[in-house]
A and B are shown apart, each in its own frame.
Chain A
Amino acid sequence: GENVEQHPSTLSVQEGDSAVIKCTYSDSASNYFPWYKQELGKGPQLIIDIRSNVGEKKDQRIAVTLNKTAKHFSLHITETQPEDSAVYFCAASIYGGSQGNLIFGKGTKLSVKP
């Protein structure tokens, strides 16, 4: 089955700096890669996703890149702000698959220091 590895487990940056979180997956059939953000006391919420037919996707200060050959994908946050502090999870799945279940990485705790 699919296995998703996520690094680093913790990341501390200064406000305004960039943050990068990396994930690798094992199943070449996976073609859908979402990122979820979990704030303290809340459930994870989708912030951006990418399908394997594109290599990069941007939404304001966040972007995700995908390297299908190497089976890894990354989340990039630019101009970080204190409200970006949270736990971020990557996941992998088969888009539109009959089951729809996501395999999550173990999460990265991002701290943005003012």
Chain B
Amino acid sequence: DARVTQTPRHKVTEMGQEVTMRCQPILGHNTVFWYRQTMMQGLELLAYFRNRAPLDDSGMPKDRFSAEMPDATLATLKIQPSEPRDSAVYFCASGLVGGNIQYFGAGTRLSVL
């Protein structure tokens, strides 16, 4: 049963700490998306990759967020330093170039105290 795997599922940290969220896309998928979900803003696209190359990260606060794909099986989203306003659920999704269906992971719920 192919699925997108995100770790950790929950993260509680203190303001100023570094946070790293990981995503394993479905094997063979070549697009990866990072979203942030809050009650106020809904689903916000932070960044997306095609064939491991970043295509657009305009939705990300550049000074503290960074997204990478070290290899085809791993995508990471880092926040340094974290702030209370970063508290949200972060989703990773993967898909195929030329297709439009995105398959979402279960998310990482981040709480920054």
Using a CB–CB cutoff of 8 Å, the interface residues on chain A facing chain B are 32, 34, 36, 41-46, 49, 89, 93, 95-102, 104-107
Contacts and interface: CB of A to CB of B under 8 A. Distances in A.
Pick the most buried of B42, B43, B55, B56: most chain A CB atoms within 10 A of its CB: B43
Contacts of A43: 4, 91, 93, 104-107
Contact of A101 (B56, B91, B96, B105): B56
Interface in B54-113: 55-56, 91, 93, 95-107
Contacts, number: 61
B45 interface: yes
Contacts of B52: none
Interface of B: 4, 31, 33, 41-43, 45, 48, 50, 55-56, 91, 93, 95-107
B43 A96 contact: no
B12 to A, nearest CB: 17
Pick the most buried of A43, A45, A99, A102: most chain B CB atoms within 10 A of its CB: A43
